Structure 1
Amino acid sequence: MDNTSYIIKYVALYLRKSRGEEDTDLEKHRFILREICVKHGWKYVEYVEIASSETIEYRPKFKSLLSDVEEGIYDAVLVVDYQRLGRGELEDQGKIKRIFRDSETYIVTPEKIYNLVDDTDDLLVDVRGLLARQEYKTTTKNLQRGKKIGARLGKWTNGPAPFPYVYVAAIKGIEVVPEKNVVYQEMKSRILGGESLESIGWDFNRRGIPGPGPKNGLWHSNTMRRIVISEVHLGKIISNKTKGSGHKKKKAQPLVINPREEWVIVENCHAAVKTEEEHMKLLAMLEKGQIVPNRAKAGTYALSGLVFCGKCKKMMRYNVRSDGYSTNSIKACNKYDHFGNYCSNSGVKVSILTDFIDREIADYEQRIIDSDNYINTDVIEKLERIIREKETQLTKLNRALSKIKEMYEMEEYTREEYEERKVKRQQEISALESELAVHRYEINYDSREKNKERMKLIKSFKDIWSSESATGHDKNMIAKMIISRIEYIYDKSTNNLNISIQFN
């Protein structure tokens, strides 16, 4: 690599660990790039990406590097080979080229310096990008094929090992962790004995038993359900259960659950922690105890999804008879926290809540009529609180930015440290200022236009709620357009009832 015709002083080192590479590979690349900097007397800042995607959107360090390159902070960016910058979709490669070309920033590898302003280098980069993209597709295909073959050979290829197992790289499989298995066996036997998932979870949390997963958090009934119904605990490895991806942003085929007859099931891959008979009993018991409030979720009743407990803030539900009909009352709050503490908020008649709503709607309408510039004080107070908090954060960030400059002037920071810290703070300040602008706009929104919309909704609400032909679903739909939530606390012993309402 000849750099005699290029003026380069400040550079960025971009290091990215690709799939299948070891930590030693990353260190080797770092050594190579640092040696180049030492040889030519270049000052450098490192940007390190671990196990990242090929798509720019999911590579935070690279996004930060591109932003810095676009601002002209560096003379060049060093990589061990061009494909480290990207071998994703053509639009990503085009974006990378444009930023480097427009900022006149060089791309440096151990073999060559690319100047994208030069037509020859520009064409060469296009060819290298196309080859890199093809290589990526081939590598991805080989990895997917290897995963499928590994599963058929009884190797664990399904991500983190489920509780109570641990992945063992030496055997490319999973093994039972004895102390975790003690917890699993207790959980299994208690469920088979008729105990609920909730009560078992509360007991485990009270006893300080670490939950599953890397964070060892609290036990939850949904987590426990997934554990006890898993067929992995029968000693099996199952693959080809799905195809596509459920990720909301990545470009891929939509997630599809394959029928069981298409699954690849390999038996006796690791030690089982339950029998087939126990597995079937667990499924039967969990199915029997499963309660899904479909009516409430569908907004069947007028106040479905709108009434909340004023004590624990959980959603309240209608009392429903065994034949599915509402009893026209809200059920007492029967929620527990993660330690089994019971919420004692009493139930209340729906008519009491609807009468309260009618009065509040009338008052709400009158406030709008009385004032041409009526504003929803609840919303405004919330926005003002958010703005104050963000303004405080902004003041702190500006102080920090000034302090960084002072430290650099006092030679406490090197140029590289100064640039890195300054850019980070500037990005945070820019993001905060954008958020503040949005919130200030919300406060200054044209009150007259907003109030016209409110008055139309109130009229529709009154018409629908007074109509004998309107269904509970109809009432619920219009109510949710005006009301965000209703909270109450009812003490039956003193007959003390406090209700509050929040409008959208």
Structure 2
Amino acid sequence: MEQYCLYLRKSRSDQEAEARGEGETLARHEQALLKLAEQHNLNVLTIYREVVSGETLAARPMMQQLLHEVEQGIWSGVLVMEVERLARGDTIDQGIVAQAFKFSDTKIITPMKTYDPNNEFDEEYFEFGLFMSRREYKTINRRLQRGRNASINEGKYVGSIPPFGYKRIKLENDKGFTLQPDLQEAEAVKLIFEWYAGKNGEQLGPALIAQRLDQLGIKPRKNNHWSESSIRNILINPVYIGMTKWQTRAQVKKSINGSVKKTRPRNHHPLLVKGLHPAIIDEQLFHQVNKKSDYTTPVNRSQNIQNPLASIIVCAKCGHKMVRRPYVNKPSMLICRQKDCDNIGASLELVEQTLIAALKEWVKDVKVTSDNLTVSPTNTLSLKIKQLTAIDNDLKIACTQMDKTYDLLEQGIYSIEKFSERFNTLSDKIQQLQIQQEQLASEIKKEKEEIKHRSAALPKVEKLIDIYWAIDDPAIRNNLLKEILDHVSYSKDTRMKKNQTEANFTLKIYPLILPKD
């Protein structure tokens, strides 16, 4: 029997229509497509609802899943409101979508037309529809950018989240938004500038300001504690003297290894315009604070990774990533930067050496497990397989007994009461055996897959161990480790004694190569 699915995605015009109160788009489209399926007697099994907005396929997880299933030939057709809903990205994305439907011979069914990708005329019409969709997207995007630039030059606030110290409010009798001081937060902003400038005779740095705010019970919006970087960002933000800024972190696209990567580097010369909102900080105080070297000269940060364990080692106590702290006259340390975390840091070099040694032990364990799977009858997997065989036999016996119970009833040997009693007993037994059967079968499958994945990964891990210390570049080491590790948890409760060289911390490895649950 042919199988079909629905794909639902909002366009920008749909979002604008919802804002005007015209109803929820996906619900209306779903109802219309289900009615279309009913009219054509199509068997719809799955509905994909794309709830994120994204220009490219990489930003649309439901579309990626749909394309994967289309390529496998699972669906006879996909119902969608318009072909434009499938792809609005660049020509590469459009080609991927068109190719997936063509090679799998999957139809595209819309309320207006059914497209057969292997029909020459339908194929041209489909590709033309995708081209026009892309052109429309570009036109809308240019219009939106012009609107944003116009709003910025008028002093309006175009961001969605207001900076700390302000509320975002709708302009009266005009389109757009501006900012209004939040009385409590604005007072905290004034304290930050005054403490840093030393207006009251006590001059504090960003770290001490963060601690002072925490002690006073003044909380930031998203976290329980202030960070040094949050204080720095407030001190350099011209919004507090009544300015609006734009393009501080404009998106930059680069092609790296055949894929498009998006970054948002800091722009040290953003567009600044006099805003419609009132200032919280006096301009003289703001410029006094920003004359300090901390803010007039951008920090020169190397783009090269200096920590081979970057984004790999995770604090076992608070869950945050451990970071490298460099020193001038002694080796770098690996530390947790969270204020309330009591996880003690350790030498980065020692942690790295311990991790590689732990990987060597992991390799030995995998080899022993794989060998025991074939030669040892007492390993856990073998025992589970024996248990499953016994349950299968018990289940067959119980089903045979159930059949005999029906025979005895038909022969008049069992009364209705006796049959009901025997039936309920056997039903409960069969149900329990089936539950045990499913659970054991699932455990056996998972354990086999785990052993299979571990064994398959052995050559890669062994290769890494062989070449690791011959590599001098920390970035290359980091990339190699990320290929086999999801993360490694780190915990340490006692400090090392003088002249102590052995590790007194605990590492727990979470390989990336294990199958997902």
TM, length-normalised to structure 1: 0.61
Q: CA deviation at 1:279?
A: 0.9
Q: Does the 8 A contact of 1:72 with 1:103 survive in 2?
A: yes
**Structure-1 separation of matches of 2:138 and 2:181:** 36
- Determine the structure 2 residue equivalent to 1:93: 94
Deviations for 1:34-85, whole angstroms, at most 9, x for unmatched residues? 3323444545332122342221122111101112222333332122211111
Q: CA deviation at 1:274?
A: 1.0
Letter matched to residue 88 of structure 1: G
Partner of 1:404: none
Contact 2:155 2:273 in 1 (8 A): yes
Aligned residue in 2 for 1:199: 208
Q: For residues 93 and 333 of structure 2, what CA distance do their matches in structure 1 show?
A: 55
Alignment check: 8 A CA contact 1:380 1:443 kept: no
Matches within 5 A, 1:43-192: 43-44=43-44, 45-169=46-170, 171-192=176-197
- What is the SS of the residue equivalent to 1:101? helix
Alpha-carbon distance change, 451 to 210 in structure 1, aligned in 2, over 3 angstroms = closer
Q: 1:220 aligns with which of 219, 227, 252?
A: 227
1:107–1:114: 8 Å Cα contact kept in structure 2?
yes
Question: Aligned with 2:232: secondary structure?
Answer: helix
Distance 1:106 1:172, change over 3 A: same
Aligned partner of 1:443 among 449, 458, 461: 458
Deviation at 1:230, TM superposition (A): 0.4
Q: Does 1:379 align with 2:351?
A: no
SS of residue paired to 2:252: coil
How has the CA–CA distance of structure 1 residues 344 and 144 changed in structure 2, closer, same or farther, with 3 Å as cutoff?
Answer: closer
For residues 12 and 480 of structure 1, what CA distance do their matches in structure 2 show? Answer: 42
The secondary structure found in structure 2 opposite 1:174 is: strand
Give the direction of change, closer, same or farther, for the CA distance of 1:107–1:288 in structure 2 (3 Å limit): closer
Q: Distance in 1 between matches of 2:182 and 2:157?
A: 16
Structural RMSD (CA): 5.5
> Measured at CA, do residues 246 and 163 of structure 1 come closer, stay the same or move farther in structure 2, by a change above 3 Å?
farther
Query: Aligned to 1:16, which of 9, 14, 29?
Result: 9
Give the 3 Å change call, closer, same or farther, for CA 64–383 of structure 1 in structure 2. Answer: farther
CA distance in 2 between counterparts of 1:475 and 1:114 reads 53
CA distance, structure 2, for counterparts of residue 253 and residue 69 of structure 1: 28
**For the structure 1 residues 384 and 66, does the alpha-carbon distance in structure 2 shift closer, same or farther, using more than 3 Å as the test?**
farther
Please tell me whether the aligned partners of residues 491 and 497 of structure 1 are also in contact (alpha carbons under 8 angstroms).
Answer: no
Q: Is the 8 A contact 1:205 1:339 kept in 2?
A: no
Matched with 1:406 is none
Question: Following the alignment from structure 1 to structure 2, what is the Cα–Cα distance between the partners of residues 62 and 165?
Answer: 38
Partners of 1:244 and 1:253 within 8 A in 2: yes
Q: Tell me, which stretches of 5 or more residues in structure 1 are unaligned?
A: 1-7, 300-308, 321-325, 365-374, 396-425, 461-473, 482-486
Question: After superposition, what is the alpha-carbon deviation per residue over 1:173-203, rounded to whole angstroms, capped at 9, x for unaligned?
Answer: 2333333323333333333331222233234
Whole-angstrom distance in 2 between the partners of 1:477 and 1:103: 41
8 A contact 2:249–2:266 mirrored in 1: yes
Preserved contact between residue 9 and residue 85 of structure 2 (Cα < 8 Å): yes
CA distance in 2, matches of 1:385, 1:289: 55
Q: Structure 2 CA distance, aligned partners of 1:103 and 1:332?
A: 54
Structure 1 position 316, deviation (Å): 5.2
**Partners in 1 of 2:48 and 2:190 — Cα distance?**
46
Give 1:238 shift: 2.1
Gaps of 5+ in 2: 307-314, 370-379, 385-441, 480-490, 506-517
CA deviation vs aligned residue, 1:198-237 (integer Å, no higher than 9, x gap): 233234446664423xx44532111221122101121111
Could you tell which deviates more after superposition, 154-163 or 110-119?
154-163
Distance 1:436 1:149 in 2: 61
Asked if structure 2 preserves the Cα contact closer than 8 Å seen for 1:19 and 1:51, the reply is no
User: By how many angstroms is 1:108 displaced?
Assistant: 1.4
In the alignment, what sits opposite 1:276?
A: 283
1:316 touches 1:333 (CA, 8 Å); kept in 2?
yes
Which gives a bigger RCO, structure 1 or 2 (Cα 8 Å, sep 6+)? 1
- What amino acid is the match of 1:95? I
- Alpha-carbon distance in 2 for matches of 1:343, 1:219: 21
Does the 8 A contact of 1:333 with 1:343 survive in 2?
no
1:446-500: per-residue Cα shift (whole Å, max 9, x none)?
A: 96x878757x94xx9xxxxxxxxxxxxx99999999xxxxx999979x8573444
2:500 aligns to what? Answer: 497
Tell me the distance in 2 between the aligned counterparts of 1:30 and 1:451: 53
- Change in Cα spacing, 1:184 to 1:340, as seen in structure 2 (3 Å) is farther
Task: State whether residues 209 and 231 of structure 2, in contact with CA within 8 Å, keep that contact through their aligned partners in structure 1.
Answer: no
In structure 2, how many angstroms separate the alpha carbons of the residues matched to 1:344 and 1:163? Answer: 33
Shift of 1:443: 2.9
Aligned partners of 1:315 and 1:254: how far apart in 2?
23
Distance 1:20 1:274 in 2: 40
For residue 415 of structure 1, what is the aligned residue in structure 2? none
Query: Which sits farther off after the overlay, 12-21 or 58-67?
Result: 12-21
Q: Distance in 1 between matches of 2:301 and 2:274?
A: 37
Classify 1:497/1:129 alpha carbon distance in 2 versus 1 (closer, same or farther; 3 Å). same
Identity rate, percent: 23
Q: What letter is aligned with 1:154?
A: G
Q: Paired residue for 2:35? A: 35
Residues of 2 paired with 1:386 and 1:142: CA distance?
A: 59
